[in-house]
Amino acid sequence: MPTSKILPLHPFLATALLAASLCLPQTAAHAAAPSCWSLLTSKYGPGILHAVEEADPCAKMPGFEQKESFNLTGLDLCTAAEGVRIEAQADLACKSTTHGGLLKGLLKGAEMRGKLEASMTVDVGACRITDSHVSVSGPVGELLTSVGDIQGLARGFAQKKISEICGPH
């Protein structure tokens, strides 16, 4: 199965959706008062953290393709009126490489840091994303913004993964 290295959200998406469908209340009465559960402190936490360690969100950043660190600091599964909401926070640091172009040698070893915040609401029954937002602060965020439509890329990639998890309807 081909994978993308644009954003690191896909490794824990399957686990989050499975947990949501099994443990969150699905009635309108329960959805009125949002509640959240940390997936990092759940039995799924070690697997999620392992998947995140393998993710490389820096791979698409020109001149800063080497991951220095990527630490997931929060991952919550919440009730939402339209299904479930997944919220994630992470710290990211990318290091410059010596690969080609004007950056070769000039910025060797330079580091860019940023904080990633993402949220996605999923209608589990319909197997579709109803809302999503990704933001990255700091110099890393500025560089990612210059690469292209991060919101569209992230949503498209996540929807593809959710569709793979749900299978054919």
pLDDT digits (tens, 9 = 90+) for 94-127: 888 765 555 455 556 678 889 989 999 999 888 9
Give the separation between CA 22 and CA 127, rounded to whole angstroms: 15
Higher pLDDT residue, 65 or 16? 65
The answer to whether 157 touches 10, Cβ cutoff 8 Å, is yes
- Packing angle of the helix pair 150-166, 138-147 (nearest 10 deg): 80
**CA 52/CA 10 separation, integer angstroms:** 9
| 29 sits in which H/E element | helix 28-31
- Residues of the chain with pLDDT > 70, as a percent, come to 71
pLDDT in tens, 48-86: 888 887 777 787 777 778 888 889 999 999 998 888 999
Both structure tokens of 32? 């009125």
The percentage of residues in the chain with a pLDDT greater than 90, rounded to a whole number, is 22
Could you count the other beta carbons within 10 Å of the beta carbon of residue 80?
Answer: 20
pLDDT on residue 15: 52
Provide the 10 A C-beta neighbour count for residue 140: 23
pLDDT of residue 147: 67
Residue holding tokens 């933001």? 135
